[in-house]
């Protein structure tokens, strides 16, 4: 049996890239995965692949920036599986759609607001949607995806870095509030990661400078993060909350 046998875990942004890798890794450990994504067709594709492999999965189309959509997501998971054991807050704006990389005073206000709406407000809304059921169960696991850019202050993407720093602050506050219900809330901060859908050479060239700054001098791939996500969703991390795990090959050390 896997470490997550029978647990029901929602993964936002689960149709592509890192989110899809999380879905597949959780399913391999026995979890029943809710693939939640604004790309409904993509979510259905991932859920079908998991189901074909013998795992239970449900696809839900969701815009995490909309409160009613996140409530629908939680209720759809409950209607199908009867419980909610975990939430991976992975949905975020970064590469898709393209984000401006400019000095902070040149960031369009509408783009600042859009990133905050998805990367921070969306995370807040998803937590708000699932926590009542977790409180009822007196058990739950929330994993918020932040970013290693928070720790080295990446230039020209101030809106993205600010949103991901907010993820860590919210993680700590929620951990304090929810501990009495046996709900753990932790954050994962990946380094620059080559998605399964990246173009390869261009992305590799872009990451060469950061690769050389790592203690482990190779490209980071989605599978490098899956084990940490599984750990944070499993009973192995039951006495760990409010923490941020940096998984970046040793670029940042804390």
Residues with active-site annotation: 160
Write the pLDDT tens digit of every residue in 90-106. 999 986 666 889 999 99
**Per-residue confidence (pLDDT) for residue 96, from 0 to 100:** 61
Domain of 12: which CATH number?
3.40.50.720
In a domain, 148, yes or no: yes
The dihedral through the CA atoms of 16, 242, 68, 35 has a sign that is positive
What total of structural domains would you count in the chain? Answer: 1
In a domain, 250, yes or no: no
- CA-atom Rg of the chain in angstroms: 17
Write the pLDDT tens digit of every residue in 183-200. 999 999 999 888 744 444
In a domain, 237, yes or no: yes
In a domain, 1, yes or no: no
The C-alpha atoms of residue 222 and residue 18 are separated, in whole angstroms, by 5
| Domain, as residue range, for 91 | 8-245
The C-alpha atoms of residue 123 and residue 89 are separated, in whole angstroms, by 6
In a domain, 35, yes or no: yes
% of residues, the chain, pLDDT over 90: 85
In a domain, 251, yes or no: no
In a domain, 212, yes or no: yes
Write the pLDDT tens digit of every residue in 156-167. 999 999 999 999
Alpha-helix runs per DSSP H in 84-183: 109-116, 122-137, 149-152, 158-178
């Amino acid at each position: 049996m896997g470490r997550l046998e029978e647990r029901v875990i929602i993964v936002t942004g689960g149709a592509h890239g890192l989110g899809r890798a999380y879905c597949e890794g959780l399913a391999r450990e026995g979890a029943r995965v809710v693939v939640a994504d604004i790309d409904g067709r993509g979510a259905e594709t991932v859920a079908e692949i998991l189901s074909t492999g013998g795992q239970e999965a449900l696809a839900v189309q969701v815009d995490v920036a909309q409160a009613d959509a996140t409530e629908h997501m939680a209720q759809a998971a409950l209607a199908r599986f009867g419980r909610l054991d975990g939430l991976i807050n992975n949905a975020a704006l970064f590469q898709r759609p393209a984000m401006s990389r400019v000095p902070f005073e040149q960031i369009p206000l509408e783009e600042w607001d859009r990133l905050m709406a998805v990367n921070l407000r969306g995370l807040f809304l998803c937590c708000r949607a699932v926590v009542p059921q977790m409180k009822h169960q007196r058990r739950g696991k929330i994993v918020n995806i932040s970013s290693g850019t928070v720790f080295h202050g990446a230039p020209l993407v101030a809106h993205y870095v600010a949103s991901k720093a907010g993820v860590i602050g919210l993680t700590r506050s929620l951990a304090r509030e929810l501990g009495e219900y046996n709900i753990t809330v932790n954050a994962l901060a990946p380094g620059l990661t080559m998605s399964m859908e990246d173009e390869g050479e261009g992305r590799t060239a872009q990451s060469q400078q950061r690769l050389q700054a790592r203690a482990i001098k190779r490209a980071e791939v989605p599978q490098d993060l899956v084990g940490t996500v599984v750990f944070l969703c499993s009973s192995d991390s039951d006495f760990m909350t409010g923490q941020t795990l940096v998984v970046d090959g040793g670029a940042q050390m804390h």
